[in-house]
Amino acid sequence: MSARILVVDDVETNVRLLEAKLTIEYYDALTCGDGLTAIALAIAEQPDLILLDVMMPGMDGFETCRRLKDEPKTRHIPVVLVTALDGRHDRIRGLEAGADDFLTKPLDDVILMARVRSLTRLKMVMDELREREESGRRVGVDTAGVARLKGSGGRVLVVDDNALQAAKVAQELAVEHRPLVEADPVAALEAARGAVDLMIINVTSEGFDGLRLIAQARSKEPTRRLPILALVDAQDRPRLLKALDLGANDILTRPVDPEELSARVRTQVRRKRYGDFLREKLDHSLEMAVTDALTGLHNRRYMTNQLQALVARTNRGSEPVAVLVLDIDHFKAVNDGFGHDAGDEVLREFSVRLATNVRAVDLPCRFGGEEFVVVMPGTTLEDAHRIAERIRRDVGAAPFRVMDGKAHLNITVSVGVAATTGADDTPESLLKRADEGVYEAKASGRNKVVARAA
């Protein structure tokens, strides 16, 4: 898997060395020597990962990282701080600035490439979500809430059979989060299916195989996207590398440093919420694409696609499908006499009465204006006629209250009914017959149901 990586270091020798290592592994490397140029390049080129030196003149790596994470166009790009500093304070400062990891010079090439692979995999997933988010933004979906996402208050599942260590980790987490400790890996996987923001797994546990637990979590749909922080011994390189290869999002070495634990957990919780945010916006934008904004019913586009599939199945020998076409009588008089706001109130109330008089498997839709369609799978012409009569009676049974109850309008509806009869039916022919039934109902006095056979 190739990726574009931005290398930022003011020492030319370091830049060329890292560039050579990345090129050998088939990565595309961009380079620069200062923080301001790095920010501009990141915005323009959108790399998949940034390897950022800390000790630079002018703007240091900490401030550069902070600005990258504050900028909406670059906050999603993983940043690894690379430095000769190996102090605990500097590492925590880097994580709190938003860095995804902190690597110490001289670099361990194997660990470096493992982190590069892990973080670029994550970036690819986030890029797909962001592309869909951008599509949602273009159709008016609100995405401003991402700036308010926090890394505290998360539900963190600690999976560890070392009771003393687990208790200590939970105690530290309880300051900002809601920890849950589980020693049994089977029970942990079940618990992770719920509202969990992060799973911390001790891969050195004696009672279970922590690496296998990571693999199982990644193979199951409910936990596939759940962030995993692996606890490993500092000198246990094989386990550390294997945890990253299996899909651990981050590594925390033992003995656990409380501040580093807090910083890494905040990063993972914030990232999880960002991913959830994008997915929710995607779901919302998809819903908007198939839903009528005024009534909450499905729209014409969605109805057309569903009817096409149902008629195709019917033509292959499946159950019949029926459609109702409903047109509110004298609706223009409502708009002319009481205003379009009152007309909208009538449409919303009509939609409620329509939806409550059809079955759960039926598909009530707003076709356009005051015209509605109900698609009814597995329904004969006679059954559809009976349901249409029930809708007609309910619509006319009680007045529609509009204008905050100041007006009560008597509303009626004319309904045309059609159902498939053989292999020659099409969605268009079915809707045309039902539409002809509506015209006949209106021509004969309105407030009627007319069924049209083929």
Active site residues: 370
CA distance 72 to 74: 6
> At what angle are helices 237-246 and 109-138 packed, to 10 degrees?
20
| Separation of alpha carbons 297 and 73, rounded Å | 36
Please tell me the distance from the alpha carbon of residue 121 to that of residue 250, in angstroms, as a whole number.
Answer: 13
Structure tokens at 25: 């592994």
Q: Which helix (H) or strand (E) holds 166?
A: helix 163-173
**Helical (H) or strand (E) element with 231:** strand 228-233
**Which amino acid appears at position 444 of this protein?**
S
β-pairing, 371-377 vs 400-402, is: unpaired
Residue 256: DSSP 8-state:
P
Containing 70, the helix (H) or strand (E) segment is: helix 61-70
* CA count, 13 A, side-chain hemisphere, 252: 25
| Calpha distance 264→343 (Å, rounded) | 55
CB 232 within 8 A of CB 203: yes
Tokens (6 digits) for 266 = 């905040």
CA 445 to chain centre: 50
Using CA atoms, how far apart are residues 156 and 317, in angstroms rounded to an integer? Answer: 52
Strand order in the sheet with 49-53: 28-32, 4-8, 49-53, 79-83, 101-104
